[in-house]
Structure 1
């Protein structure tokens, strides 16, 4: 059963000013919390994936972040937010704009890295009304090297709350002009039945320059006849379509599918078994992703799942032994 959401002033974090209460809310002992604070950046695993630096909390801090995220997720968010909201997805975000002729996309450059310690501290003090001493503890636990970590469970929600006043200004600016606005992590999408000119974009830039240090980039405007890519979904006229990169990957899986299955059925070796499990898991995952955009792929998903059952190929999380 989905838990009921409440206003931010009903959150256990709101107006928090007692250290023992903080420990209880975070479900952690004083000694353990002190160790986390002393460890600082050593609480994170760091790596680089595809040229992007990633910071993932180690188990103890991860548990604390998951607790914080649970608290964040209970808070009612604005209607324009589509990321990190249960029951909403990147496809829903795109669907909001499918009937609009003109569309403008804007990204916030290095969003997590640019959301610094000072902004996080202000968020806890000004948005959650936490006392300054406890807000500093929460800000230290919520950041890596002076910014929001890129690989934590709290990153999406925390950056949203850090910037809620800015996004509210953007929402009001759009509402006055009859423009539809949605937010998906660091992707801002605007759509309208009339062209969104330089004047409109100038107003958005002004809101950010007055209130933040963020840089807006990857700005792209679409006219009525141009297919529009919004958070991984293609808008064509008044319908949704699957992006070419996903189509290409689906074709690659499709071409090798029969070979993988026959190799498993005829050989039944450990390597062919593991290969078949991985293949079906990735193929079904990709088709399922496509089916959220286009109903055509739903039948394909059902067919693959049935084929996996018939051949006794388990899903990865079933952890079945080889027959």
Structure 2
């Protein structure tokens, strides 16, 4: 398991209180409703003040009073991830769901803790997203091999290439493969087949993929790095060696587990004329120093000192640990998502 820094898609907005009504409804059938583009039927014993509905990029956003059937007329074609939030008893409770289609009817149940989707009519994208989520979860739970999971994700990206759900699936693929340039390039080429509007979607990963594909070298002189004494330090690379950079931080369990493995197998560096340099993204110097003092690992460790100018940002590293094998010019020879991957790479040479 790797630890990821990700952007959580959560929208926090002020709801406008409308006329309060106590609601307890039963699910509606489409035959008895004059439907708009998106239609919400909410079952609840609670008092609902207002409802907010918006696509994930908030290009269209609606604050609506409660009714037996909340009707939303949109200007854009329905093909997106949507937020649905209710304001009830001083709380905001909501959910997200993928939608496409016309005259979409959504049955929901509201309790004190959550807003649950019971049924969605007339949306193939909603059904496809649930099928994808269930299948992906099953692969992860059953501990399927990486090749099987990657093939599944590629297939799902192609299946949903005409919807923004493809971007979410690409996000899962990159979380697993951001350090494999060939795999990133393969997915990037698939996503280039999208229309311009989909390429620029709010949750697109295209810029991230471009940055991953464009980065070819590490230039230490462009960054402020601190040593164990919290003093600015300079990294000089020996032309006779290769270097493995370990990007990590203290509160990353898989990073710390790798450190134990590295310590046990440290001879791999001496045997292959490779030097290890740990590069921490920790903001708190004391936390970082205490960890290093406690374990007294034999390799060089430095820490990024300027949050606004990080080596990890410019290398598009957002899953940890990440390793980069470089030569004395800083040119990246390979990237890895675990120390085990690095070991396999060296042992095959």
**When you count helix as a share of all residues, which structure comes out higher?**
1
Compare relative contact order (CA 8 Å, sep 6+) and give the higher one, 1 or 2. 1
Q: TM-score if structure 1 supplies the norm length?
A: 0.25
**When you count strand as a share of all residues, which structure comes out higher?**
2
